[in-house]
Every structure is written in structure tokens, then in C-alpha cells.
């Protein structure tokens, strides 16, 4: 099966950062996977069964000390993968960071920028959202669709749109993001004010006094700050020293952002923020199941958080500050 993907991530290949095997990411199993696992035989199945536990009714892989029990940390490999190959892994582990969806227009792949490899690719080449076809067929047995959608998708809590309407809606917002003459802050204000109308004309009001933009100043919660900073600190190229530095930013994250800081960052980091916005926007309704308007509103807030983090992480220094800001903002979007 040939699938279409965002062009900026069409060449994605796993670089074994193992971020998906550690907090804040948790690998879960579908009910049908758990049933099949109970009947499976062989060393890979036995090892996987030993790692599964249930929390709040959801089967997931255990993470003692915040690291999956199946991870060979030194070898940077999953022991189940080593024993049984790709097919032995839970679907969530196989797909990450991909979201594979069957649509009436074909198979579509989205990506999570929580993955350091995907985030680094975006930082290295932040381009407007355009589609690309995979040059090789997608192995359906290795990367099965995580969901399937029909021709009607939720636009709001009271209205559904056809796939053709969704396509036009997506393209309208992507075109605005790709326009270098379109101020990013205007895009954010309009996305918050009229999320179902990408053609809305800006009102020409001073952006600093646009009431919608107050939504960009939402402070983080303790539940968001802790796992993100811990997760960034566990990356192989950062480590505990980096984690300690990240913790110094907690109080700043837990307070509202300064809109003037976000505005300056929108000018300086427009290409990266627009690229991330386009990739996050792709998930609306098709991948995340949320209504289009609600998903776009979340994307706009997520971009505001990214701009804030880019300023804070640059001041912190290091060679990976842009990548880390993209990862952290992606986790913020997960809630």
C-alpha cells in the first residue's frame, strides 16, 4: 500500500533514541492484542507477557524507574524486538512516532514530534506542509492503521463535514501558514477566533489587544511540567545535568507567558513554528478524532507554547534547544 506523508518527514527512519521506551511515553496494548498475547507462544511472547501490567483498566508495559522493563539500555534496543522482530511488538510500539489512518482518499501517515528524530528533522528543514508519497510500499502487517475514518468527520460538536470539506479546510489553513507575508500572530488569532474559516480576513486590530491571544498565555500544570522535563533529561544526548537545568524552568512554565515574548519569537522563528503548526494541524479529526475547530484551537495554543519555549531554551543554551522546545511543546499538546 502506498501512503502519503508530510514531505518534511517522508524520509523518516528510526535512530534509536529510545525516547518512546521511557517516560513520559507509556506503551499500551489494545484489548485484542492482550487477548492474542495470552495465546501466543515463544520467547518473545513470554518476555512481553512478563512486562504487561494493568493500570486503571489499561494494559501497558511496566516502566520501573521510568524506563520500559524490556529495554536493553546499553544496546539501545528492545529485547522483544530482538527476539521476535517487528511483528512481536505491540502495535503502539511498532507505529511510534507514526499515526497511520485509512481514509476514503487512501492511507495517511502523521507523526508525533515527541520523537527526537522527527523533531530534529523538522528543526533541520522547516518547510510548509505539503504531501509526499512514500517511495516504498508501507508494509501493512508491520504498520497497521491505528484507526479508519469514513467520509464524514466532526467539524464541531454540532456539525459534520465531508472529507472534501475537510480537505479544503486543511488546505486553507496550510496555505496561510505557508504564506511568508502572513504574520504568524495573525494566523494564531484567527485560528482561535474562527477555527472553521481559514479565509477569514484579519480585523487589523493591534494584536497585543486581541482578546483571543490571551488563550496563548495558558500556564503549564504540574502534571505537564514534571514528565516533560524528566523525559528530556533522559535522552541519551542530554542526561541528568540537563534534567537539573530543566527543573529550574518549572516556576516560569507554571506562570502565564509574556505575550510580548511570544510576539518577538513569532517573527524570529516563523518557519519552524509554521512547520510544526502544519504537522499538528494534520491530526485534526482524521488522526485525533477531535472536532476540527477544537483541534485547531489546541494547535494554536500549542504553537504559542512552542514560541515561548524557543525563547527560554535558547537562553538556556546547548546545541539541542530548538529540538527540545519542539518535543516539549508536542508533549504539552498531548495534555
Flag whether pLDDT at 299 surpasses 80: yes
**Distance, CA of 60 to CA of 29 (rounded, Å):** 6
pLDDT of residue 208: 60
pLDDT in tens, 188-240: 999 999 999 998 866 555 666 677 788 787 888 888 888 787 778 777 776 66
Instruction: Quick: pLDDT tens for 161-202.
Output: 999 999 999 999 999 999 988 899 999 999 999 999 998 866
**DSSP H or E stretch at residue 231:** helix 222-233
Helix (H) or strand (E) holding 242: helix 240-247
Q: What is the rounded CA–CA span in Å between residue 273 and residue 278? A: 9
Q: Please give the average per-residue pLDDT across 17-27, as a whole number.
A: 87
Full-model pTM: 0.91
- The three three-digit cell numbers of residue 323, written as one number: 529540538
Contacts of 176-179 with C-beta under 8 Å, sequence gap 24+, read 177/128, 177/129, 177/274, 177/277, 177/278, 177/281, 178/128, 178/129, 178/274, 178/278
Report residue 318 as a C-alpha cell.
Answer: 546547548
Biggest CA-to-CA distance, the chain: 66
- What integer is the mean pLDDT of 10-33? 88
Cβ atoms of 174 and 168 closer than 8 Å: no
Considering only 53-57, 94-98, 178-182, 327-331, which range has the smallest mean pLDDT? 53-57
Q: Which of 262, 254, 41, 10 is nearest to 131 (CA)?
A: 10
Taking the C-alpha atoms of residue 290 and residue 295, their distance in angstroms, rounded to an integer, is 6
Of 248 and 3, the structure prediction assigns the larger pLDDT to 3
pLDDT, tens only, 23-51: 888 888 888 888 888 888 999 989 999 99
Alpha-carbon distance of 126 to 116, in angstroms, equals 15
Amino acid at each position: 500500500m502506498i501512503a502519503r506523508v508530510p514531505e518534511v518527514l517522508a524520509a523518516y527512519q528510526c535512530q534509536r533514541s529510545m525516547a518512546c521506551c521511557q517516560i513520559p511515553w507509556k506503551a499500551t496494548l489494545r484489548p485484542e492484542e492482550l487477548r492474542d498475547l495470552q495465546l501466543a507462544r515463544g520467547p518473545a511472547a513470554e518476555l512481553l507477557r512478563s512486562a504487561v501490567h494493568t493500570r486503571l483498566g489499561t494494559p501497558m508495559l511496566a516502566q520501573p524507574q521510568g524506563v520500559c522493563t524490556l529495554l536493553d539500555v546499553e544496546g539501545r534496543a528492545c529485547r522483544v524486538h530482538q527476539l521476535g522482530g517487528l511483528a512481536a511488538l505491540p502495535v503502539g510500539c511498532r507505529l511510534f512516532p507514526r499515526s497511520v489512518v485509512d481514509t476514503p482518499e487512501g492511507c495517511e501517515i502523521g507523526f508525533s514530534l515527541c520523537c527526537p528524530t522527527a523533531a530534529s528533522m523538522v528543526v533541520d528543514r522547516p518547510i510548509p506542509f505539503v504531501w509526499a508519497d512514500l517511495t516504498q510500499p508501507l508494509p501493512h502487517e508491520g504498520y497497521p492503521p491505528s484507526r479508519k475514518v469514513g467520509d464524514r468527520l466532526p467539524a464541531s460538536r454540532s456539525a459534520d463535514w465531508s472529507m472534501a470539506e475537510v480537505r479544503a479546510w486543511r488546505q486553507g489553513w496550510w496555505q496561510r501558514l505557508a504564506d511568508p507575508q502572513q504574520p504568524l500572530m495573525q494566523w494564531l488569532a484567527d485560528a482561535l477566533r474562527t477555527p472553521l474559516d481559514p479565509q477569514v480576513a484579519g480585523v487589523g486590530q493591534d494584536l497585543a489587544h486581541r482578546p483571543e491571544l490571551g488563550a496563548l498565555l495558558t500556564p503549564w500544570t504540574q502534571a505537564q511540567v514534571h514528565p516533560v522535563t524528566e523525559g528530556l533529561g533522559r535522552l541519551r544526548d542530554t542526561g541528568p545535568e540537563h534534567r537539573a537545568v530543566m527543573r529550574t524552568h518549572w516556576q516560569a512554565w507554571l506562570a502565564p507567558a509574556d505575550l510580548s515574548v511570544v510576539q518577538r519569537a513569532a517573527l524570529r522563528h516563523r518557519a519552524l513554528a509554521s512547520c510544526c503548526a502544519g504537522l499538528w494541524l494534520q491530526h485534526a479529526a482524521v488522526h485525533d478524532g477531535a472536532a476540527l475547530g477544537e483541534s485547531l484551537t489546541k494547535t494554536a495554543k500549542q504553537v504559542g507554547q512552542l514560541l515561548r519555549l524557543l525563547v527560554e531554551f535558547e537562553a538556556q543554551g546547548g546545541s539541542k534547544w530548538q529540538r527540545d522546545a519542539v518535543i516539549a511543546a508536542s508533549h504539552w499538546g498531548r495534555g
